[in-house]
Structure 1
Amino acid sequence: MTSNATRKRRERGSISPEDILAGAFIVAERDGLDNLSMPVLASHLEIGVTSIYWYFRSKDDLLRKMTTQATTFLQNQLPTTEGWKPEDWQEFLLSYFSADRASHQNANVLTDLVLMRTSSYSIPSTHRVYRGIESILAYLTKAGFTARQAWFLYSSLSLYTRGFIITERMRQVNQTPPVGLSQLSLIDVENMPILVGLISEHDAMLDMADDESFAFGVRLALEQAARILEETSG
């Protein structure tokens, strides 16, 4: 086995910023963003740490570039309003926010960069995100909402979806499964008959962050928005 002291490093200039960013995502996925450092990244890439500083002046600079890449990736995963008829706004929003949530599942670094470390956003990343929001607001106003109603509808569903994503992320970090029959000891059986009944019925799991719960909440918001739209149009 070759020791770290004798490991052959790459030639200076043989690595690109794209290679460094790709390596940073790998290290962050393996060790977590908090444990990502220039020396650790350099060791992973088998280069001198000065080769990283040639392209990225600091860890904050590296995180900004990683966030730009993450937000670009996420925006490319989300459906656009192009081709959607205004009257299909409910189906579009359900599709949009379901895709948003799905993009974050098992993508811890993406979630941490896009949702947890918003201070790492660059101006281009911020503009890209808000251009996407602008197009959705324009689409909703075509459907009949006022600009303010469109903003409230988008922001409410966005925060709702973010809550699901972060809940799933924290559950994964803490390794806390949903409550099921195997965890009935966590429930006060004598004083919580409704919860016990829900768990016992078909061995159901009490999961606040599953697909069914997510879709149920989105549909509730959309039904209320439809009533508001009807009142506005009337």
Structure 2
Amino acid sequence: MSDTEASPELSLPHAVALSWGVAERPQRGPKRELSIERIVEAAIEIADAEGLGALSMAKVASALGFTTMSLYRYVTSKDDLLLLMQDAAATVELPEPPEDDWRTGLKQWTLANVEALRRHPWYSQIPVTGVPITPNVIRLVDMALRALRPARLSDNEKMACVLLVASYARAVGVVQAEIDGTGAPAEEVTGASYAPALAALITEDRFPDLAPVVASGAYTADDYDDFGFGLERVLDGIQRYIDETSHADASAGTTHAAAPALDREAEDAALYGSDKRVKEAAKARREAEKALREARKREREALRNARERAENMRAKAAR
């Protein structure tokens, strides 16, 4: 039997076959002291503590008290070990999703994935090479599809939604894990400790749109759930798509998507834009928008002046 064959019926890469338990395993000694599970567990402990760069077959063998060659009887390469580690780290437990609420279930799934990435920062450093083919990662996909069961979506659309939220979870998990790894206090992470300096450096003439955000305190705020907000908007997008489409003959796997609801205002503008009163109203709208932009500019100037006055007062008080 070749390394890429788990059985006459299955043809899988050796490490994938190992993850499914369908590959031949070496004959272990009478004490049965070493196993694939122990090797993977030790490797994960090293990667969690020291990072993926510190991981080697020799280091895993040393941690287990065996020779490096002993490990190769169980795991034939470091690449195989990484795949087995990735699958083992993908173990996530979730409550049963609501029967009629796909949104809550998918939100729970996404949050759980973020936390898994934070527990194992090295996970995202292993490149994505294709669709999931190991059991625990496939179980994650199955759990997401279970959450989406009540959603009126085709199979292709459900898989696209899983990829969408998984990508969002991966991006956020990577950032959170990197922040966790710095060990920096919250005020440094948010930039709050640098707020006065940032307010002085980020001026409206150089950064006209960011300056008022810094002045308002939103740039360094730590009491706003940016990730939660983004996730809700992603889920809003899926919900809107579901609302705007209909599907028929789901059992046959066919999908009949209804055309999105027409934007009535845009349609009317196209049909009646030449009407005299419509033109006058459109002109008034443009003038109002221009006035609003000017008002916002004055507001930014007022904020900058208020900030400068406050800084001058603090400077005088410190003398």
The verdict on a shared fold, with TM-score over 0.5 as the criterion, is: yes
Contact (CA 8 Å) 2:87, 2:137: kept in 1 or not?
Answer: no
Contact 1:64-1:120 within 8 A present in 2 as well: no
1:37-186 counterparts in 2 under 5 A? 37-71=56-90, 73=91, 76-79=92-95, 81=97, 84-86=98-100, 88-112=101-125, 116-119=126-129, 123-125=133-135, 128-130=136-138, 132-133=140-141, 136-137=144-145, 140=148, 142-173=150-181, 177-184=188-195, 185-186=197-198
Conserved? CA contact 1:63–1:120, under 8 Å: no
Partner residue in 1 for 2:222: 205
Say which SS state the counterpart of residue 217 (structure 2) adopts: helix
Identify the residue that residue 11 of structure 2 maps to in structure 1.
Answer: none
Cα separation, 2, equivalents of 1:124 and 1:197: 48
Q: 1:186 to 1:131 in 2, by over 3 A?
A: same
- 2:215 paired with 1:196: yes
Q: Which segments of 5 or more consecutive residues in structure 1 lack a partner in the other structure?
A: 1-10
Q: Which digits, 9 at most, give the CA deviation of each residue in 1:37-69, with x for residues without a partner?
A: 122222222222222222222222222222232
Q: Deviations over 1:113-160 (max 9, x none)?
A: xxx3334998434xx534543564476364322344433333222211
Q: Which residue of 2 aligns with 1:230?
A: 243
Root mean square deviation of aligned Cα: 3.4
* 5+ long unaligned stretches in structure 2: 1-29, 205-210, 247-257, 259-319
1:109/1:79 Cα in 2 relative to 1: closer, same or farther (>3 Å)? farther
What residue identity is the alignment partner of 2:127? R
Alignment check: 8 A CA contact 2:198 2:214 kept: no
Aligned length: 207
> Which amino acid is 1:164 matched to?
V
User: Which structure carries more relative contact order (alpha carbon 8 Å, separation 6+)?
Assistant: 1
Identity among equivalent pairs (%): 25
User: Which structure: greater helix fraction?
Assistant: 1
User: Residues 190, 37 of structure 1: CA spacing in aligned structure 2 closer, same or farther, 3 A cutoff?
Assistant: same
Structure 2 length-normalised TM? 0.54
How far did residue 175 of structure 1 move? 6.2
- How far has the Cα of 1:173 moved from its partner? 4.7
Change in 2 beyond 3 A, CA 1:164/1:131: same
Letter paired with 1:179 = T
Change (3 A) 1:135 1:110: closer
Q: Are the aligned partners of 2:124 and 2:170 in contact in 1 as well (CA < 8 Å)? A: no
Shift of 1:182: 0.8
SS of the aligned residue for 1:118 comes to coil
Measure, in 2, the Cα distance between the counterparts of 1:204 and 1:12.
57
Give yes or no for contact 2:57–2:78 (8 Å, CA) kept in 1: yes
Looking at CA atoms only, which structure, 1 or 2, has the larger radius of gyration?
2
Distance 1:139 1:66 in 2: 26
- C-alpha change, 1:120 and 1:174, in structure 2 (3 Å) is farther
